[in-house]
Amino acid sequence: MGHIKKSLKKFLLKLLPKAVGIKINTISLLSKKIAAQKAFLVFCTPRGGQIKNQQQEALNSAKDQQIEIEKNVKIQTYRWAGTGPTALLIHGWESNTHRWLKLIEVLQENNYNIVAFDAPAHGNSTGKILNVPLYTNCVQAVSQLYTPSVHIGHSIGGLTTIYHYYKHHPEHIKKIVILGAPSQLSVIMKDYQRLLGMKNAVMTGLNSLVKERFGFSIDQFSGFAFAKAITIPGLIIHDKYDQITSVESSRGIHKNWKNSTYIETSGLGHSLYLDKVNTQILKFIE
């Protein structure tokens, strides 16, 4: 009986994106602009990332200040105090600060001053959506406040880390680490279009919306291009068999980031949540 329920759930989860896509396509017949707005909202709305009861206790003792980024968006910061260099940890999509606890333990053993925060619409932070420009504003606010010498980002947090440095070039950052990061927004959007089955007209409208709101087109938002502007040392780690973000993303970023070290793992998955990865991070930032 259990396997039947699992199969049904899997089937329904496959149907849901297509149903959303049909709705957006239908809206586009009346208004391409409204359809694009709906597609953008769906794209930026996480369905996970909440902190579970057993995770909350571990984070409560480290809660620091809340920072208001914009109206209705306050992010919760955390701090594990140390007398050594400051490291800022930037989590991925539908995640939260708890994902860093193993790395935090390693950094604490080496007396790092550790700062992290929950992204908007994740963890203990408020808000309803998340995208890289918004996440970048959060990183800038936290980075200015705590002046870390190291930024460490996972998945979309990794892409945000690259974009943040490209946009702001903060002098206090001396090293960057990115884990399993995506790169090309165009690739992400093609996957999104395919998942929902959206018409090309919707995507054209979505591209216009992105350009109007953020000042760049979908094709122009590229981790490959951002990496060319980074001069400080970087460590890039990506698993060869990552099922969430293609390893080609990190290979391309490394190719364009002159002062970067690339480590390609095999079988560690997208999370890269293992001691051997944390050891490599510590070795690089020391």
In the chain, % of residues over pLDDT 70: 95
Q: Is residue 71 part of a domain?
A: yes
Q: Is residue 195 part of a domain?
A: no
Report yes or no: 70 and 133 within 8 Å, Cβ to Cβ. Answer: no
Q: Is residue 37 part of a domain?
A: no
pLDDT of amino acid 53 = 87
Q: Is residue 225 part of a domain?
A: yes
pLDDT of amino acid 15 = 52
pLDDT in tens, 8-30: 344 334 557 888 999 999 999 99
Compute the distance between CA of residue 176 and CA of residue 156 in angstroms, rounded to an integer: 14
Residue 137 Ramachandran class (φ > 0 left, ψ -120 to 50 alpha, else beta): alpha
Burial class (CB in 10 A: 0-12, 13-18, 19+), 124: buried
pLDDT in tens, 130-157: 999 999 999 999 999 999 999 999 999 9
CATH code, 119: 3.40.50.1820
Predicted TM-score (pTM) of the model is 0.93
**Higher pLDDT, residue 90 or 57:** 90
pLDDT of amino acid 70 = 94
Q: Report the number of distinct structural domains present in the chain.
A: 1
What residues make up the domain containing 101?
47-183+217-285
Q: Is residue 40 part of a domain?
A: no
Q: Is the pLDDT of residue 5 over 80?
A: no
pLDDT in tens, 200-237: 999 999 999 999 999 999 999 999 999 999 999 999 99
In the chain, % of residues over pLDDT 90: 90
Instruction: Quote the mean pLDDT of the chain.
Output: 93
Q: Is residue 127 part of a domain?
A: yes
Q: Is residue 21 part of a domain?
A: no
Residues 6+ away with beta carbon under 8 Å from 13: none
Q: Is residue 188 part of a domain?
A: no
**What totals of helices (H) and strands (E) does the chain contain, helices first?**
11, 8
